[in-house]
Amino acid sequence: MGVLDLFNLTGKVAIITGASRGLGRSMACALAEAGAYVALVGRDLSALKILEADLANIGTETLLISADVSKKKEPQRIINEVLSWRSNIDILVNNAGTVVRSSAVNISEDDWEKVIELNLNGAFRMAQAAARVMLNQRSGKIINIGSVNSVLGAREVISYAASKGGILQVTRAMASELAAKGIQVNCILPGYFETDLTKGIQDDEARYEMIRRRTPAGRWGKPDDLAGAVVYLASAASDYVTGSTLTVDGGFIISA
């Protein structure tokens, strides 16, 4: 097998949550271009249909699943639908997420739970349900999407930081348990990317510029900057990589 063949995902079955826009959309396109069948999961069905049409142009077979991963029974339903479509699950990208901006002393219980249920609990349930299938296959790739806030303290996003710190530890714990069974579990830590999730910061010109200046690369990330990272962790190229974090942040963490 040549080195480029290691990155070929032809025939692999991938699930990506939060696929309708932003980082999820870009990663879904990357997996499809690498040859995978892709199950697109999200709450915005109309946006998923647009993505489905775009992927059809490159010859990719897709499955659309309208679902809210924060609901307790939804992860298993998603897994069941994918297994009805294809008989196996090779790749899970846990990308669905949200953020509520509030100070630690003022955040409401409802807002805290909203973020934790989606970003942490929902992601864990997806990983757990997928891992049960992968154990029977004795192979699989679970890719959790964390954040630079998994390891940095950031103001006014306490529930988001807690959830992303938690998903980093979920990654490490699951990787330790599943490595001997042929399953790799890794975490991507994106920095500041120009997506809907960061629109509030982008609209604050002074803060946007402060982050740009603090980033050694001198710019915010674009969604396509994650394409190579997700294909690497989804492919045979990373078969001996597990429990790891791949930081894609233009150097933001090293300058913090």
Q: Find the Cα–Cα–Cα–Cα dihedral 158, 78, 50, 97, rounded to 10°.
A: 0
Sequence-distant (6+) residues with CB within 8 A of 136 are none
In 18-111 the beta strands, taken as DSSP E runs, fall at 37-42, 62-66, 91-94
Q: Would you state the structure tokens that stand for residue 4, as one six-digit string?
A: 């480029």
Residue at token pair 């997506």: 195
Containing 189, the helix (H) or strand (E) segment is: strand 183-190
User: For residue 136, which amino acid is it?
Assistant: N
Find out whether 107 and 28 touch, Cβ atoms under 8 Å: no
Catalytic site residue from 37, 160, 192, 232: 160
Is 240 a residue of the active site?
no
Residues with active-site annotation: 160
